[in-house]
Amino acid sequence: MPASTLVGIVRPMRRKAFNLYSTHLKTHFGGRVHKISIDAGFGCPNRAGGRTGHGCLFCEPGGSAAVGIERHQPIRVQIEQATALMRRKYRAKWFIAYFQPYSNTFAPVARLKRCYDEALAVEDVIGLAVGTRPDCLSPAKFALLADYAQRTYFWLELGLQTIHNRSLDYLKRGHDYSCFLDAYQQAKAHGLKVCVHLILGLPGESHADVMATADEMARLGVDGVKLHLLHVLEGTPLGERYKQGEVPMLSRDAYVAMAVDFIERLPPRTLIQRLTGDGPRHLLLAPLWSMNKWEILNAIDDELERRGSMQGSKYRPTGLW
Q: Show which of 191, 223, 238 is a domain's final residue.
A: 191
Residues 123 and 20 placed together within one structural domain of the fold: no
Residues 272 and 167 placed together within one structural domain of the fold: no
Residues 225 and 273 placed together within one structural domain of the fold: yes
To 10 degrees, the CA torsion angle through 2, 6, 11, 17? 70
201 occurs within a structural domain:
no
Output DSSP code: residue 12. P
Residues 230 and 280 placed together within one structural domain of the fold: yes
Report pTM.
Answer: 0.91
Please give the backbone phi and psi of residue 227, each rounded to the nearest 5 degrees, phi first.
-95, 130
Q: Show which of 135, 165, 191 is a domain's final residue.
A: 191
pLDDT at 317: 85
Residues 163 and 223 placed together within one structural domain of the fold: no
pLDDT at 275: 97
200 occurs within a structural domain:
no
Low-confidence ranges of the chain (pLDDT < 70): 1-15, 48-54, 61-71, 319-321
Whole-angstrom distance, CA of residue 272 vs CA of residue 177: 22
21 occurs within a structural domain:
yes
H or E segment and range at residue 209: helix 207-220
298 occurs within a structural domain:
yes
If one counts the domains in the chain, the total is 2
Residues 23 and 52 placed together within one structural domain of the fold: no
Q: Show which of 157, 191, 225 is a domain's final residue.
A: 191
217 occurs within a structural domain:
yes
Domain that holds residue 227: 1-30+208-315
Residues 224 and 180 placed together within one structural domain of the fold: no
